[in-house]
Amino acid sequence: MKVIEQLRLLTDERFLSIYEALVRDGFGPLDGEVAKALNFRPQAIAKVPLAKRAQRARRILDAAANAEMCYELFGTYLFTKQKQLVVDFLDAVGVEHDEGMISNVTEAQPDPTKLDAALTDLDGKYDAADVTLYLSLCSEQWPQVPEVEAAWRDRLKG
């Protein structure tokens, strides 16, 4: 549940920026869940300020410790807004993919000896917060590669 840990470490502003980045036609990515929690009709939730909806969405994710939904939210954000970061990481650590899509996650694992160089390169090109967010997903995706989680945890300290 590393993505839940990552969620808990995000500032409200950072979570809101992720939420805002995924708004489509005035609706946030978890507005359906927020509407249910508030007993609103799905269409009526658009009248609630986005910052309030994002706050409620974050509480829903955290309270339920819904790692799957959180993973999907973060993954959608990264794939939609920072796809090249994902592609560059996978290329740098030797994971076979098709435009960021991995066909067999169990077989296609990152080479731990390439991880440090990959992260240094990514930090030079992208926002470090997005790189760290992606590492939280990678930690969930490849628990059999402990170096990935170790790299993510090191970034949380510094």
- Tell me the per-residue pLDDT of 50-106, one tens digit each, with 9 for 90 and over: 999 999 999 999 998 889 999 999 999 999 999 999 999 999 999 999 999 998 888
Please provide the distance, in angstroms rounded to a whole number, between the alpha carbons at the two ends of the chain. Answer: 21
Judged against a pLDDT cut of 80, whether residue 158 lies above it is answered with: no
pTM score:
0.93
Judged against a pLDDT cut of 90, whether residue 20 lies above it is answered with: yes
112, with CB counted inside 10 A (0-12, 13-18, 19+), is middle
Q: What pLDDT sits at residue 76?
A: 97
103, with CB counted inside 10 A (0-12, 13-18, 19+), is exposed
Residue 11 has which token pair?
């500032």
The answer to whether 112 and 157 are in contact (CB under 8 A) is no
